[in-house]
Structure 1
Amino acid sequence: TSSASSLDTSAQFQENNGPTQSTRWDEQQKVFALEQVCGVFRVDLGQMRSLRLFFSDEACTCGQLVVASRESQYKIFHFHHGGLDKLSEVFQQWKYCTETHLKDQQLADEKTCMQFSIRRPKLPSSETHPEENTYKRLDVSAWLHHLNEAGQVEEEYKLQKAIFFGGIDISIRGEVWPFLLHYYSYESTSEEREALRLQKRKEYFEIQEKRLSMTPDEQKDFWRKVQFTVDKDVVRTDRSNQFFRGENNPNVETMRRILLNYAVYNPTIGYSQGMSDLVAPLLAEVLDESDTFWCFVGLMQNTIFISSPRDEDMEKQLMYLRELLRLMHPRFYQHLSSLGEDGLQMLFCHRWILLCFKREFPDAEALRMWEACWAHYQTDYFHLFICVAIVVIYGDDVIEQQLATDQMLLHFGNLAMHMNGELVLRKARSLLYQFHLLPRIPCSLHDLCKLCGTGMWDSGFIPAVECSGHHPECESCPYGGLAEVSSPKPGSEGKRGLKTRDVFAFRK
C-alpha cells in the first residue's frame, strides 16, 4: 500500500509550549487509528535517524522514501507513479537535511545526527562492467541463432555470456532453463533430448510409484519427516502468482508431488522449508511435471544454491563472502569485525543465500538473478557478488550508524522487496569484473572460480596468490600462496600476469 500522500513534511519540533498530555494522548490515538484502518501515518522527521531516497526508474521520479527512527523502526513510502523527485527537491532545500552532510563539524543540536542521502538507479561509468548494455534479452530469434540444424548449442560460452548480461525472455524460459540446470546437455540434439525426456519421465513415475507403495510404517515415518511440512508449505507458496492462485489449484498439487517425490529420490536431503520456493518458479515456467522434477534435481546438484545446506556448506559460503567484503568493501567488513563473532556470522544475508534472493526482490527481478547465476559466467559464485552489491548499495546506514547485529538484520529485512534488482545486478557484474582485474587474491578465495568452464582467467594469466595464514592442518599454504608479498618494484605495480604455481584448475 502506498503511503506517500500521508507524509507530514512539516516536521515541527515541539518546544515548551507544546500540547497538554491529554491532548497529546488523543492525538496519538488518532494517528494509531489512521495507521490501522487506512495505512496512513505521520512521523516527526526531526526525531528520525535517517532518510534515504531510492529512485527505481531511469527518469528518477518513482521509488521509495525509507525513514528510519532511532529505535530502528522503518517506514517506507512508495512512489509508484512519480513525485519522488519533487519530494527530493524539498528535502534538499531543507536546511536540516543539508546539515547532515557537514561530517567534520560538531553541531550543537543532537538531532543533526540524522543521515540523509539520495540513491539513483545509475552507476558511474567507472563502476559499470565495460560490456554492460551490449547484450539484449535472449528471445526466440537469438536463441535459435545459438542452435545448429541438429538442435545443438554451438558455443556454450557465448550463450552463457548472453544470458549473464541480458537474461532470457519469459516466452522461452521453459526451453532454455533445462540447459542451464543441466537437465539437457548443450551438446545434445533435438532428437536426443526427446529420447531423454521419455526416459526421464519413466524414471520419474517409478520414483512416484516407490513413494505410493510404501508400507504403513514407512508412510507414517515419511509423513512425520517430510509430508507434514510439505503439505503446510505448498499451500502458501507463490499464491499471488496466477499459476498457483485459487482454491484446489491442480498446479499446487503438482508442486506437492514433485517435492514428495524428490524426498524419495534423495532421502539424504529430503525436504526442508524453502525448497518449495525454488520449485514453484521452475514449475510455472517449465510446466511439465517430470521435466520440472529433473530441473529441480539439477538445481540441487549442479548449482551452488542449496536450499538446506549443511553447516559446513553455509560456512564456506560465508567465508567466501567475508573475504569478498574485506577486499571490496573494507569499511563494512571492519564494522562486522568490530561486532565480533556475531557480526561475522552475517545473519542478515543467510536468507539471501538459502532462498536465492526470492524474498528480497519481486519475482521478475529475482528470476533474472537466478539466470545470471545459472549461466556460470566466469564464476560459480555470482550470487555472492550479488550479496556484496546489496551491501555496497544499501549498507551505508549500517556503517554510519554503527548498527548492532540485530539492527543490521532489521535494516536489510525492512528493505526486502524495496530494492532495485536491476541496479544490484549491474553492480554485481561490475564487482565481478573488478575481481577479475585483481593482481593478487587471498588463498581463501582460491576456489572461487575453479569449477568454471572457460574461466575467469582464461587468457593464460592468473593473479598471484597471497596466503591468508589460516591452514591449521598444513605447514605451508596448500595453494602455493606466499605468506608475504614484497613491495612491487617501481613501474610494476598493478601489472597482471604474475604467475605462482598453476593453482587454478577449471572443470569443463
Structure 2
Amino acid sequence: MSLGRLLRRASSKASDLLTLNSSGSSGSPSVLDGEIIYSKNNVCVHPLQVLQGLGEHHPGYLCLYMEKDELLGTTLILAWVPNSRIQRQDEEALRYITPESSPVRKAPSKRGRHAQGSGEPHQPSPVEQRETCDNHMTCSTSSTSSLDTNLQFPENSGQLQNSKWDEQQKVFALEQICGVFRVDLGQMRSLRLFFSDEACTSGQLVVASRESQYKVFHFHHGGLDKLSEVFQQWKHCTETHLKDQQVSNEKTCMQFSIRRPKLPSSETHPEENMYKKLDVSTWLNHLNESGQVEEEYKLRKAIFFGGIDVSIRGEVWPFLLRYYSHESTSEEREALRAQKRREYSEIQQKRLSMTPEEQREFWRHVQFTVDKDVVRTDRSNQFFRGEDNPNVESMRRILLNYAVYNPTIGYSQGMSDLVAPILAEVLDESDTFWCFVGLMQNTIFVSSPRDEDMEKQLLYLRELLRLTHLRFYQHLVSLGEDGLQMLFCHRWILLCFKREFPDAEALRMWEACWAHYQTDYFHLFICVAIVVIYGDDVIEQQLATDQMLLHFGNLAMHMNGELVLRKARSLLYQFRLLPRIPCSLHDLCKLCGTGMWDSGYIPAVECTGHHPESESCPYGGTVEAPSPKSASEGKKGPKTREVFSFRK
C-alpha cells in the first residue's frame, strides 16, 4: 500500500478521536502516541526569493499527529516533507511524517533500499504520482539534513543525462531551502488561518513561534477547511490558558484565529463588485473617434475598482502616469512620442559626453549602485531572465539617464524595482523613461525618499490609525518614539508594496493608487488595511518594535492582496463619511482633479492644536481656552471645529 493511501486511512480512523483525546477526561480512550489526525499532500511553503532557474512549484506532504507530552498530556506535531524526498523513499524524511511510535508504521520500508540496490530509481505508485503531480508550488526557508543522491541516468544519451542531472541538482538546491519541517504546535505563539477563496477551502496556515519566526503553508487545492475543523477541536486552540500557569506561559498555543476572504457588508465599499477589469472593449468605449479619453473621472473610477487587463496595460499606463494627456488625440500622441524620443536621445548623449572627472563622480554616486541593482531586479520575470538580457541593459540605461535628467534626485536603491514592471509592460525604452518621470513627479508615495517626505507620510498614517484602528495606535504610543516611527511600513511606502505581494497583486495596487480616485493618498489606506487584517498578533502579543518589524516582514508575499485592496477601499469610504477630520489630515483631502467630496458634502475640520510655529491653525481652526475642569486636570479643552471647503 502506498504511503499516501496508508496515511489517509489512518487519518479517517483517527479524526473522530480528536475531540475525546483533547478533552482530557478520564473516560476518554487513551491516545496512541503518533496517532495521525490529518494528512494532506501538495501543501507548499513559498520562499521569499525563488532560486533563479528553478521551477515555479515545489509541493510537500503535511500531516498532524498526536504526541504524548509530560506537561500538556497530548500535543499536536506538524510535519512537512517535500514530495521529492517522498518519491525517493528517503527514510530519514519519512520518519517525520510517520514516527516510529505511530500505529501506521509497521516496519521500515525496504523499497528505497531495493530500488537503490537494483540500480533503478524508485517509480512512485499511481496514487503517489497523482498526489505529486496534482499541484506544484514553491516553498520556503527551512533547514534540511543530508539528502539521498543515489539516482541513475541513462548512459546512452549524454544530453538527456545532463538535462536530468541539472534538473535534479535544482531539486536538491531547492530542498536546501525548503527542507523537512517539524514543530510542536503546543509550543507555538499563534496559529492563523487565512482563507483565500469564497468557498473557504484554500488559503494559508501561518504558524508563529514565540521568537517571532514564521512558517506559512499554502493550501492551493483545498484541505484548509478540514484542517480548520481539527484546530477548532484541539483544546490548546480553544483554551488560552491551563490550570498550571507555568505551563500556560511556556507551552500553550496563545492565539488562534480564522480569517475569511469576505469582508462583512459593513466593512465593504458599497460599489464593490460593480466594476469589471478594464479590458480592450471597455477601454475602447472610453475613447472617441479621435482617440481622446472621454469622462476621465469614470475611467479612473473603473480602474480603481476593477483594475486593468494585462493585455492593455502598456497602452493605459502612460495615461495614468501623465505621459499622455487624456485630451490628446492618437495623432498628437504619436507626435509626442517622436519628440520625447529625441529628448531621451539627447539626455543619453549628455551622459555619454561627460568628462573623465564627471564620469568618475557619476560612477561613484550613481552608476556603481545602478549596475549592482539591475542585475538582481525581477530576475524571476521571464522578461529579465537570463544572462546578457538586453532588457536588463535597457533598464540600466533608463536609470542612468534619469539620474542625469534629474540630478537632484539622482538614483536611490529601489528605483529599479519601480522601473522594471513599467518596462515589462510598455516595452519601449523611451516611453518607459517618460512614464517613470511621470511616476516620480505625480505619485506621492514614490517621491524622492527624503527624511521629511517619509516623516510626512508617517504622520498621516499615524493619524489614520488613530481614527480607524485605535488599539493598534495605542500600542504604538506605548512603545514610545521607536514604535511611532513604524519601521515595519517604510518598505511598503518606498517600494509601493512590491516586496509585500506577488507581482500581479502589487501591480493591481499600483493601478488603484495611480487612478487618484478621491485621494492622492490611497497607498496609506492600503497600509492601514494591512495592519487591520494582519496586525492582531501585534496587539494581542504586545510585540516590541523589532518583533513587530519581523512579524510583518515574515508575512511578505503571504498576504491576500485582493482582500487588502477591498479593505482599503472600504477604509477610504468610511473616511469620507467622518463628520469631522483632524486638521493634520487636511492634505489627504486635496486632489489633482475632482475633489474627494464631489457630492457637495463638506466635513468639519477639527484642529489638533499642534502648530508650534503658529498660534492659530493654518487651516482655519482655532483652539478654545481650557475649561475650568480640563484646566484643573492639566488638559486642553475641546477644539473649535470650523468647516473648511476642500476645493481644487
TM-score normalized by the length of structure 2: 0.72
* Residues 370-407 of structure 1, C-alpha deviations (whole Å, 9 max, x = no match): 00000000000000000000000000000000000000
* Counterpart selection for 2:560 from 420, 425, 431: 420
Partner of 2:61: 5
Rounded to whole Å, the distance in 1 between the matches of 2:533 and 2:550 is 16
**Which AA in structure 1 matches 2:390?**
P
Partner of 1:368: 508
Report if aligned partners of 1:378, 1:452 keep a CA contact under 8 Å in 2: no
* Counterpart selection for 2:483 from 333, 338, 343: 343
Aligned pair 1:310/2:450, yes or no?
A: yes
**Which AA in structure 2 matches 1:207?**
I
Aligned pair 1:98/2:238, yes or no?
A: yes
Partner of 1:66: 206
Aligned pair 1:500/2:642, yes or no?
A: yes
**Which AA in structure 1 matches 2:66?**
S
Partner of 1:179: 319
Rounded to whole Å, the distance in 2 between the matches of 1:106 and 1:191 is 78
Report if aligned partners of 1:4, 1:79 keep a CA contact under 8 Å in 2: no
Rounded to whole Å, the distance in 2 between the matches of 1:323 and 1:16 is 44
**Which AA in structure 2 matches 1:342?**
D
Rounded to whole Å, the distance in 2 between the matches of 1:419 and 1:38 is 20
- Aligned pairs (5 A) from 1:33-182: 33-34=144-145, 36=176, 39-100=179-240, 108=245, 109-110=247-248, 111-112=251-252, 114-182=254-322
Rounded to whole Å, the distance in 2 between the matches of 1:38 and 1:92 is 28
Rounded to whole Å, the distance in 2 between the matches of 1:146 and 1:363 is 27
Report if aligned partners of 2:277, 2:309 keep a CA contact under 8 Å in 1: yes
- Aligned pairs (5 A) from 1:223-302: 223-302=363-442
Rounded to whole Å, the distance in 2 between the matches of 1:325 and 1:272 is 29
Rounded to whole Å, the distance in 2 between the matches of 1:191 and 1:365 is 34
Aligned pair 1:469/2:469, yes or no?
A: no
CA distance change for structure 1 residues 501 and 46 in 2, over 3 Å: closer, same or farther?
Answer: closer
Aligned pair 1:379/2:519, yes or no?
A: yes
* Matched pairs, number: 483
Aligned pair 1:354/2:354, yes or no?
A: no
**Which AA in structure 2 matches 1:277?**
D
- Cα offset, 1:211, TM superposition: 0.4
* 1:42 counterpart SS class: strand
Rounded to whole Å, the distance in 2 between the matches of 1:307 and 1:39 is 41
Partner of 2:48: none
Report if aligned partners of 1:466, 1:483 keep a CA contact under 8 Å in 2: no
Report if aligned partners of 2:188, 2:253 keep a CA contact under 8 Å in 1: no
* Residues 338-385 of structure 1, C-alpha deviations (whole Å, 9 max, x = no match): 000000000000000000000000000000000000000000000000
* 1:314 counterpart SS class: helix
Rounded to whole Å, the distance in 2 between the matches of 1:485 and 1:127 is 38
Rounded to whole Å, the distance in 2 between the matches of 1:236 and 1:485 is 58
Partner of 2:9: none
Greater Cα offset, 414-423 or 442-451: 442-451
Rounded to whole Å, the distance in 2 between the matches of 1:207 and 1:271 is 15
Greater Cα offset, 259-268 or 106-115: 106-115
CA distance change for structure 1 residues 106 and 148 in 2, over 3 Å: closer, same or farther?
Answer: farther
* 2:413 counterpart SS class: coil
* 2:513 counterpart SS class: helix
Report if aligned partners of 1:8, 1:42 keep a CA contact under 8 Å in 2: no
CA distance change for structure 1 residues 455 and 106 in 2, over 3 Å: closer, same or farther?
Answer: farther
* 1:185 counterpart SS class: coil
Aligned pair 1:332/2:472, yes or no?
A: yes
Partner of 2:353: 213
Report if aligned partners of 2:441, 2:447 keep a CA contact under 8 Å in 1: no
Larger Rg: 2
Rounded to whole Å, the distance in 1 between the matches of 2:483 and 2:252 is 27
- Cα offset, 1:153, TM superposition: 0.8
Name structure 1 gaps, 5 residues minimum: 19-26, 487-497
Report if aligned partners of 2:187, 2:252 keep a CA contact under 8 Å in 1: no
TM-score normalized by the length of structure 1: 0.91
- Cα offset, 1:451, TM superposition: 2.5
* 1:261 counterpart SS class: helix
Report if aligned partners of 1:277, 1:355 keep a CA contact under 8 Å in 2: yes
* 1:77 counterpart SS class: strand
* 2:287 counterpart SS class: coil
Name structure 2 gaps, 5 residues minimum: 1-43, 46-58, 75-91, 97-142, 146-174, 627-639
**Which AA in structure 1 matches 2:288?**
N
* 1:136 counterpart SS class: coil
CA distance change for structure 1 residues 412 and 485 in 2, over 3 Å: closer, same or farther?
Answer: farther
Aligned pair 1:407/2:547, yes or no?
A: yes
Rounded to whole Å, the distance in 2 between the matches of 1:504 and 1:438 is 15
Report if aligned partners of 1:480, 1:503 keep a CA contact under 8 Å in 2: no
Report if aligned partners of 1:4, 1:77 keep a CA contact under 8 Å in 2: no
Aligned pair 1:392/2:532, yes or no?
A: yes
Greater Cα offset, 56-65 or 219-228: 56-65
* 1:10 counterpart SS class: strand
Aligned pair 1:451/2:507, yes or no?
A: no
Report if aligned partners of 1:7, 1:41 keep a CA contact under 8 Å in 2: no
Greater Cα offset, 457-466 or 123-132: 457-466
Partner of 2:89: none
CA distance change for structure 1 residues 187 and 8 in 2, over 3 Å: closer, same or farther?
Answer: same
- Cα offset, 1:17, TM superposition: 11
Rounded to whole Å, the distance in 2 between the matches of 1:323 and 1:347 is 16
- Cα offset, 1:14, TM superposition: 3.8
**Once superposed, what is the RMSD of the aligned Cα atoms?**
2.3
Partner of 1:495: none
- Cα offset, 1:308, TM superposition: 4.3
CA distance change for structure 1 residues 209 and 500 in 2, over 3 Å: closer, same or farther?
Answer: same
Report which structure shows greater RCO (CA 8 Å, sep ≥6).
Answer: 1
* Residues 150-188 of structure 1, C-alpha deviations (whole Å, 9 max, x = no match): 111111100000000000000110000000000001111
Rounded to whole Å, the distance in 1 between the matches of 2:298 and 2:415 is 31
Rounded to whole Å, the distance in 2 between the matches of 1:347 and 1:204 is 37
Rounded to whole Å, the distance in 2 between the matches of 1:446 and 1:48 is 44
